[in-house]
């Protein structure tokens, strides 16, 4: 997982501020989409501590001790990035098959993503 991943949403941004982008990336990698309880007393031998590392775990525990927190999922971020890449490749004149091959998708998936095009840019009529 890329440690430079930038989360979207207020909750993910708050977690990233608390434990850093790299810490959030590890948290999402192991617990994405889950709700986890942060113990009130530090438990360095816990699975959470082992997966996050002692520094990230202690920051998480210091801020969220005694709380249940929802861990964001990366899937929506990846899907948005993939859709943007597919749109960009189409704008460069790539065929559906070329895009599918480059992105590891089926032609049907490419067509579905292309059907979700962004709304057209509205321009002022300069000659009217």
pTM over 0.75? The answer is no
Name the β-bridge partners of 37: 68
Query: For the chain, which residues make up each domain, given as ranges?
Result: 10-73, 76-115
Taking the C-alpha atoms of residue 40 and residue 3, their distance in angstroms, rounded to an integer, is: 28
Q: For residue range 78-109, what is the model confidence (pLDDT) as tens digits?
A: 677 788 889 999 999 999 999 999 989 999 99
| pLDDT tens, residue by residue, 38-68 | 999 999 999 999 999 999 999 999 999 999 9
- Take residue 61 and report the two structure tokens written for it: 């525990």
Number of neighbours of residue 36 by Cβ within 10 angstroms: 17
């Amino acid at each position: 997982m890329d440690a430079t991943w930038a989360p979207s949403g207020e909750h993910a941004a708050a977690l990233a501020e608390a434990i850093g982008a790299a810490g959030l990336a590890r948290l999402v990698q192991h617990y994405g989409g889950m709700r986890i309880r942060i113990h009130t007393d530090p438990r360095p031998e816990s699975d959470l501590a082992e997966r996050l590392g002692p520094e990230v775990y202690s920051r998480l525990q210091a801020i969220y001790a005694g709380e249940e927190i929802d861990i964001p999922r990366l899937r929506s971020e990846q899907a948005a990035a993939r859709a943007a890449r597919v749109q960009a490749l189409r704008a460069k004149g790539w065929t559906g098959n070329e895009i599918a091959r480059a992105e590891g998708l089926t032609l049907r998936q490419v067509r579905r993503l292309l059907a979700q095009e962004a709304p057209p840019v509205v321009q002022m009529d300069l000659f009217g």
